[in-house]
Structures are given as structure tokens and as C-alpha cells.
């Protein structure tokens, strides 16, 4: 490289990073901000439903505007953009990412803490203060001493994630059906069946697009959201100057105080409508893995936030002069000349609004699956550059079926509104009249998305309390400032939402609790299965000592024995040998560990050690993956594993490792070893000569045997277990293990399929575990 090109390289790298950030910020409009951006359509209408209709004066209108402004500013801007995004787990977001970050740095979680074998990983090294504070020690000691508190914390986290997944069923159905219902303005005679049919077609198309990945979907949807934000901000500026420029005074928090002073309890009950202005704010953190912190911060702070504030101010300015239009304020505030263009863009924007929750559902389920809290599903990484952009076929089509069932079952937005709790009044009025067409809306319907959103946000606040104290190790003053500022806001909204659950919010609430039951039962069953294997593992020396009586023979080939235990012999292998006394000449016990980090570098992934004397040709390999690492191709994994074993043999000679000691095998240190292990029968003899000159004779013989046995064939062995509760167990445990966990295991992807093992080389050993 010439000096001139080297001098330009830092500048080119800076420009590339700048361009990548802007590109990701552009894509985030089509995925992250859809739900948040369509809130101006219904916030004022929902807020001034119920008893607040008795307080339709300027003070109340400006008070609601002040509440909306400060809610957006404190929760969306300050809490999420400034603080919560800074607590990412190596680029991953969501409540489960916060929990995994805490588990990795403390012993407060149930998903595993860093063992001595894993502590050296670069992913575990965080730039945090090493000095423990009195608060951090108190919190850690409490959770470490009380196992029930750790169980309660995990259930609390799973509750937040289940709320997001449950919201992912109703949001697409409500948004799409509301948008399609707008056709009745143009075609008044369009009947309900046609509306439902068209809605189902749109839903199928929306979920079919997910197959193309976040990258392509975001490019398709981003222009729609940008056009929508441009429309509402431009109309907002127009309304401010035309109707009431003094509306900017409502940005003062005094108007919040004045609002509650005048409305009292009626104002408190209306907070369920105000909280809808931040529906979708949690997606900024949940969808972080699809983009980056900087891109989401730039998009929200520079475009989304100012556009939404101006839109709410413009609508309030119009309402201050047209109080009679409170129940149809958004479209009534539109200039007549732009009504239809804005209506078309709004229809598309409401459809796009579902994308945020769909992408967030993919990210959350991916994290839960990897950490043992969700049944095995297929994860497809749709981008080679942004690792968090994923697609889950089973979840996608299941969500689609559930959305279709809700659409067909409820049939119109009024009925879904009772369950969803959010009245999408947008498309059911005559623009030339002040009367509603068709249905009479129930104004006291509970805005359940507000409850789901507030629960997720409160869970995030509580986890941030633990992160700030135990991971960041900040002072108690900063911790209390964060919790009191944001927690009090969220508890106030939560109390207002909670009183109206009987008005329809029970349906998605029960659905979320079912998801919570599924995740907690799967985690419990998986933990019981692993505990049984640890308790019943067999000592290898004992197994080899009885081998003469069994008539044990070694057959040609390499055997890869998969299990979840890191020491000893898995019970299924002992069961296999006692019934069929033969195994391969080279045997490698493989343990796949998913750590509480998003990704593990390739050069730190393999931890290899020898079992027994060298003549046994027995090895153990612990393969460490992060919860966001991609799928594993069996042939590629086989090549990497055998290469690492050969490198370990060379390292064993050079470092004089003690027998049985595990060692991390990184990038190839000797190209000769790489050449020999990766060789086929057509490999040239020249590289074999270089290999003989590089290592000792015994190691050369072992590697040669490794190559020869690999050419003889590689077999995969794993257990095909049936987990049953013990006969003396309680009824609840029998129901959880035998019924729920058994049903989930039978209907999830088999481990061999999830790992991509070739069916012709697979040996499955059947066993029954009594837990």
C-alpha cells in the first residue's frame, strides 16, 4: 500500500462509519418508529374520552399537551435514548439483554454465571469500576442468599418479555383492520365481510414480507414513515401559526399541575390515554440488535421527537379553537386540500406501525431460546453485516395465524378495541359532518397497550436499578434519582391503567400470561433435565475398568458425543456402552454452552482437553456460543472441531499441559497443522513432510490417526430423552413436566435438527429421565 493511500485510510474509515450510521438510521424509520409515530392519531381522542369529556376547556387541552410533551421527553428521550440504550449487552437490547448482562457480572440470576473456564473471554471484560459500593454489596448479598428472590426476578423479567410478545398478536390485527376500514369512507357500501377479507390479505402479505429480512423490509417501509412524519410536522406548524401560537406555553410543567388541579380524579383516570403517546418507545431498545445505538439516537433525537412534539402542539392549537372536534381531532385539524393525501399516508403508516413489534418479538424470542427460556425454533440471520437482523419462520407464521384468528373472530375494530383497548376512531367518520358513522364507540374502553407498555417499561426501570448498582456500581444518589424520576411516572400511569382491566384488557393479559407459563415451564423442565444429567454422570475410569467384562471394542471413525455436562461421562453414553459395548477409536465429548453474552469470538470459542492417557484417544471439547451467534453448519463445525483438536495436540507438546487440563485453542498457529487436518486423500505429500518437521513423532502419529479416522467416517451421538416427573412428585410438578413440558418438547425442533446434524450419521440413544 502506498503512503498516500495509507494516509487516507483513517478518513475513509471515518466516512464509512458515518455512512453506515446514517444508513441504519434511515432503515430504523421503517422498523422501530412505526407504532410510536402513529400515536398522534388517537392520543387526544382517547384521553378526552370517559369522564374527561366534562373538562373540555383550554386549561385541560393545554394540560394534556404538557403531559404528552413531558412524557415523551422524560420516558422516550431521557430514559430510553440517553440511559437505557447505554446499558446494551454488546449491541443487544431488550429486557432479556439487561438480565443477561446482570447474570454475567453477578450471581443474581438463574441463567448461569461466568465459570472459571469462561472468565477469560474478552466478551466478559467490561469497563466498569472495580470498587464495590455499599449499595451494590447489599443488593448482591440479598439475591445470592435468597434463591426465591432470584426465581422471582427471572419471572419478573419473563413477564416483561411476554407482554411484548402478547402485544405482537393484537397490534398487527388492530392496525391493519383499522387501516382497511378506511375504505368505507370512499366506498360506504363496503360490507364487513369484505373489510375482514381485505384485512386478512394485507396481514398475510405483511408477514410474508418478513421472509426477506429486516434489511429489505426497512428499506420498503422507511419512506412511508418519513413521509408520515413530514406530513404531521408540517400540518402541526400550520395549525400552530393559524389557530393558536401561544400553545407553546404548554411546554411548561406548570400546565401539568394546573391540569390535575382542575380535573382531579378525572384527570388521573385519563392518563390511560396519555400513555399511548409512548407506545412503541420500548421498541427502540428491544430492536437495538437490528441497528445500533448511535443510529437509533440520531433518528429519534433529530427527526422523530421534534416531529411528534410539533404534531401534538398543532393538534392542541386546533382544539383550543374547536373543542367540539375533540373526538375526531386529528383529521378535523387537517386542511381540506390535503385530507386525502394524508389519509392515504396514514393508512399505510398504520400498517407499517406493526413492524416494530414484529421485529421486537423476533429479537426477544431469539434471546429467550438461546438462554433456555423458550422452545427450540429456527433462527435465520437475514444480514451478514448486522448480526441482530433475524427472522424466525415458526414464530412469524404462528403470529400470522393468531392475528388472522383475532381479525376473523372480532371482525371489526370496535370489538378488537374492547380487547386491544385502543379505539382507532380514525376511519369511521364523515369528514363533512360532526357525527360518527356506523358504530357508537365506548369511550371508557381500557387502553391495554398502555398497560403492556407500562409493565415493560417498569420492568426495564427495575432492571436498570440493578444494572446501575451492581454492574455500573454508581452511588446511591444517582440510583435513587433514576428510580424516583422514572419509576414514579410509570407507577402513576400503571395505577390509572390498572383500574380498567375488566373493560377488555383481560384478553391480551391472559394471552401474555400463557406465554409466561410456556417460557417458565420450558426453563424449569430444561433445568430439571440438566440437573438429572449432572447427578447421574458416570466416572470414565469406572466405565473403562468394567470394559473387559463388557467386551468393549473400538470401531473405526470419529465419534462426537453431545451432552450438556462439562465433566464426566453423560448417562446416555454409559447407557449406550452397557447395551452396545463399542465406540469409535477417536471419541470427543462435545458440550455446547450458550453463555450470557451476545457473541463469542471464533478464536475463543473452543475449549479442548484430553481425557485419560493418550492411548485412549478421548477428548473433551466445550464449544461456547453467545445467545446471538448464528446457526451451525454441521460439516463446517466438524472441520473446525477436528482442526482445533489437532492444534491442541501441538499445543499440548509445546506448553506441557497436565493431563486433563482444558485449553483454549484459537486461530491456527501453524499452517502445517491446518493443511494436514483439512486434507483429503488427494493432499500432496509436500505438506505432510513439513508437518513431520514441525512436531514430535508421537503427536504426528496422533494427528495422522485423526485424519485417517475422519476419512473413515464421523458419527454424531446424542440422547433422545423422555423427561417425566417422579411418581412421588406433586400434582403441579407432574402437570408442568409430563403435560406442558412434554408437549413443548414433542412439538419443538429436535436438537439434532437444530444443530444441522446429517441424519445418516446420527445415533440417538433413548432414555427416560425421572426428575
Residue written as grid cell 383499522: 178
Could you tell me the pLDDT band of residue 692, with boundaries at 50, 70 and 90?
A: very low
Q: Kindly report, residue by residue over 602-623, the tens digit of the pLDDT.
A: 888 889 888 878 888 889 999 9
What's the rounded mean pLDDT across residues 106-125? 66
Show Cβ contacts of residue 351 under 8 Å, excluding neighbours closer than 6 positions: 175, 176, 179, 202, 206
pLDDT at 689 over 50: no
Cα separation values, 285 from 296, 344, 468, 649, Å: 9, 29, 17, 45
Strands annotated E in 569-649: 582-595, 606-611, 618-626
Highest mean pLDDT range out of 566-570, 591-595, 762-766? 762-766
Average pLDDT, the chain: 79
Show Cβ contacts of residue 446 under 8 Å, excluding neighbours closer than 6 positions: 272, 421, 497, 500, 501, 502, 503, 504, 505
CA distance 537 to 428: 66
Q: Write down the pLDDT at residue 630.
A: 64
CA distance 329 to 429: 11
Q: Which residue has the higher pLDDT, 757 or 233?
A: 233
* Angle made by CA atoms 115, 119, 125, in degrees to the nearest 5: 140
Q: Write down the pLDDT at residue 681.
A: 38
What cell does 195 get?
Answer: 373489510
The burial of 16, by beta-carbon neighbours within 10 Å (0-12 exposed, 13-18 middle, 19 or more buried), is given as exposed
pLDDT at 525 over 90: yes
Q: Write down the pLDDT at residue 669.
A: 42
Q: Write down the pLDDT at residue 655.
A: 52
pLDDT at 345 over 50: yes
What cell does 398 get?
Answer: 404462528
As a whole number of Å, the CA-based R_g of the chain is: 30
Nearest to 309 by CA among 43, 599, 602: 43
Half-sphere exposure at residue 662, Cβ-oriented, CA atoms within 13 angstroms: 18
Q: Kindly report, residue by residue over 391-419, the tens digit of the pLDDT.
A: 889 999 999 998 888 888 766 544 444 44
Could you tell me the pLDDT band of residue 39, with boundaries at 50, 70 and 90?
A: confident
Q: Kindly report, residue by residue over 238-257, the tens digit of the pLDDT.
A: 999 998 898 999 899 999 89
pLDDT at 440 over 60: no
Ramachandran area for residue 411 (φ above 0: left; ψ -120 to 50: alpha; else beta): left
Q: What b/e string do you get for 375-407 counting C-beta neighbours within 10 Å, with b at 16 or more?
A: bbbebebbeeebbbbbbbebbbeebbebbbebb
- Which residues are 718's β-sheet partners? 764
Cα separation values, 10 from 6, 17, 419, 461, 652, Å: 8, 11, 55, 39, 41
What cell does 429 get?
Answer: 367518520
CA distance 505 to 451: 8
Q: Write down the pLDDT at residue 487.
A: 92
Q: Is 49 helix (H, G, I), strand (E, B) or coil?
A: coil
Show Cβ contacts of residue 305 under 8 Å, excluding neighbours closer than 6 positions: 72, 76, 77
pLDDT at 662 over 70: no
- Which residues are 563's β-sheet partners? 591
Whole-prediction pTM: 0.80
Q: Write down the pLDDT at residue 686.
A: 46
pLDDT at 492 over 80: yes
66, 277 Cβ separation under 8 angstroms: no
Q: Which residue has the higher pLDDT, 53 or 693?
A: 53
Please list the alpha-helical segments (H only) found in 564-606: 571-579
Q: Write down the pLDDT at residue 450.
A: 64
Please list the alpha-helical segments (H only) found in 244-326: 254-263, 265-269, 271-274, 283-286, 293-299, 305-319
Amino acid at each position: 500500500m502506498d503512503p498516500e493511500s495509507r494516509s487516507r485510510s483513517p478518513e475513509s474509515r471515518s466516512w464509512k462509519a458515518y455512512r453506515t450510521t446514517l444508513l441504519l438510521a434511515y432503515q430504523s424509520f421503517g422498523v422501530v418508529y412505526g407504532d410510536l409515530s402513529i400515536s398522534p392519531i388517537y392520543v387526544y381522542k382517547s384521553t378526552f374520552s370517559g369522564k374527561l369529556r366534562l373538562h373540555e376547556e383550554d386549561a385541560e387541552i393545554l394540560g394534556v399537551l404538557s403531559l404528552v410533551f413531558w412524557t415523551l421527553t422524560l420516558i422516550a428521550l431521557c430514559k430510553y435514548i440517553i440511559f437505557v440504550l447505554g446499558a446494551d449487552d454488546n449491541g443487544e437490547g431488550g429486557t432479556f439483554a439487561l438480565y443477561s448482562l446482570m447474570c454475567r457480572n453477578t450471581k443474581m440470576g438463574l441463567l448461569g454465571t461466568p465459570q472459571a473456564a469462561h472468565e477469560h473471554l474478552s466478551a466478559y471484560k467490561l469497563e466498569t469500576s472495580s470498587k464495590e459500593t455499599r449499595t451494590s454489596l447489599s443488593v448482591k448479598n440479598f439475591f445470592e442468599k435468597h434463591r426465591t428472590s432470584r426465581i422471582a426476578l427471572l419471572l419478573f423479567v419473563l413477564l416483561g418479555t411476554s407482554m411484548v410478545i402478547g402485544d405482537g398478536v393484537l397490534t398487527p390485527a388492530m392496525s391493519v383492520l383499522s387501516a382497511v376500514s378506511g375504505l368505507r369512507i370512499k366506498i360506504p357500501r363496503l360490507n364487513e365481510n369484505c373489510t375482514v377479507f381485505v384485512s386478512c390479505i394485507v396481514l398475510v402479505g405483511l408477514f410474508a414480507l418478513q421472509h426477506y429480512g429486516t434489511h429489505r423490509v426497512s428499506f420498503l417501509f422507511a419512506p412511508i414513515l418519513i413521509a408520515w412524519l413530514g406530513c404531521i410536522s408540517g400540518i402541526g406548524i400550520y395549525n400552530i401559526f393559524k389557530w393558536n401560537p401561544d400553545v407553546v406555553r404548554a411546554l411548561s410543567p406548570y400546565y401539568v399541575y394546573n391540569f390535575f388541579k382542575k380535573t382531579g380524579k378525572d384527570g388521573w383516570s385519563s392518563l390511560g390515554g396519555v400513555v399511548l403517546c409512548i407506545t412503541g418507545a420500548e421498541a427502540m431498545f428491544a430492536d437495538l440488535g437490528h441497528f445500533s445505538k448511535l443510529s437509533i439516537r440520531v433518528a429519534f433525537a433529530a427527526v422523530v421527537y421534534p416531529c411528534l412534539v410539533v404534531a401534538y402542539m398543532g393538534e392542541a392549537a386546533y382544539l383550543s379553537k374547536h373543542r367540539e372536534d375533540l373526538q375526531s381531532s386529528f383529521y378535523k385539524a387537517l386542511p381540506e386540500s390535503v385530507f386525502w393525501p394524508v389519509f392515504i399516508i396514514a393508512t399505510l403508516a398504520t400498517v407499517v406501525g406493526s413492524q416494530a413489534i414484529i421485529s421486537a418479538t423476533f429479537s426477544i424470542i431469539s434471546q429467550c431460546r438461546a438462554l433456555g427460556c423458550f422452545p427450540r425454533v429456527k433462527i435465520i440471520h437475514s444480514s451478514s453485516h448486522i448480526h441482530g437482523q433475524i427472522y424466525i419462520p415458526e414464530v412469524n407464521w404462528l403470529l400470522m395465524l393468531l392475528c388472522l384468528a383475532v381479525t376473523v373472530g372480532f371482525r371489526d375494530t370496535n370489538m378488537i378495541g374492547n380487547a386491544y383497548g385502543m379505539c382507532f376512531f380514525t376511519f369511521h367518520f364523515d369528514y363533512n359532518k360532526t357525527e360518527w358513522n356506523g358504530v357508537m364507540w365506548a369511550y371508557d374502553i381500557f387502553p391495554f397497550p398502555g398497560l403492556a407498555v407500562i409493565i415493560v417499561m417498569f420492568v426495564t426501570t427495575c432492571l436498570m436499578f440493578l444494572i446501575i448498582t451492581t454492574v455500573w456500581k454508581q452511588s446511591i444518589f444517582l440510583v435513587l434519582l433514576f428510580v424516583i424520576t422514572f419509576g414514579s411516572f410509570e407507577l402513576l400511569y400503571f395505577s390509572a391503567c390498572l383500574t380498567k382491566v375488566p373493560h377488555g384488557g383481560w384478553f391480551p393479559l391472559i394471552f401474555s400470561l400463557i406465554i409466561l407459563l410456556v417460557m417458565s415451564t420450558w426453563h424449569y423442565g430444561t433445568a430439571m433435565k440438566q440437573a438429572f444429567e449432572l447427578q447421574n454422570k458416570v466416572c470414565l475410569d469406572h466405565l473403562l475398568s468394567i470394559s473387559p467384562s463388557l467386551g468393549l471394542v473400538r470401531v473405526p471413525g470419529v465419534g462426537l458425543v453431545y451432552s450438556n455436562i462439562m465433566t464426566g461421562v453423560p448417562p446416555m453414553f454409559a447407557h449406550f456402552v452397557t447395551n452396545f459395548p463399542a465406540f469409535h477409536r477417536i471419541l470427543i465429548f462435545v458440550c455446547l454452552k450458550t453463555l450470557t453474552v451476545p457473541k463469542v469470538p471464533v478464536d475463543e470459542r473452543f475449549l479442548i482437553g484430553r481425557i485419560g492417557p493418550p492411548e485412549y484417544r478421548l477428548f473433551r471439547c466445550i464449544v461456547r456460543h453467545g445467545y446471538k451467534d448464528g446457526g451451525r453448519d454441521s460439516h463446517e463445525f466438524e472441520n473446525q472441531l477436528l482442526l482445533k483438536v489437532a492444534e491442541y495436540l501441538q499445543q499440548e507438546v509445546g506448553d506441557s499441559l497436565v493431563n486433563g487440563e482444558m485449553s483454549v485453542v484459537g486461530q491456527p498457529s501453524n499452517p502445517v497443522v491446518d493443511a494436514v487436518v483439512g486434507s483429503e486423500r488427494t493432499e500432496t505429500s509436500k505438506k505432510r513432510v513439513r508437518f513431520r518437521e514441525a512436531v514430535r513423532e508421537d503427536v504426528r502419529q496422533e494427528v495422522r490417526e485423526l485424519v485417517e479416522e475422519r476419512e473413515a467416517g464421523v458419527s454424531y451421538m446424542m440422547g433422545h430423552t423422555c423427561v417425566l416427573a417422579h411418581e412421588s412428585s406433586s400434582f403441579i410438578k407432574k402437570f408442568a413436566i409430563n403435560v406442558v413440558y412434554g408437549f413443548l418438547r414433542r412439538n419443538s425442533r429436535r436438537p439434532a435438527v437444530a444443530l444441522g446434524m446429517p441424519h445418516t450419521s446420527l445415533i440417538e440413544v433413548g432414555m427416560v429421565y425421572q426428575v
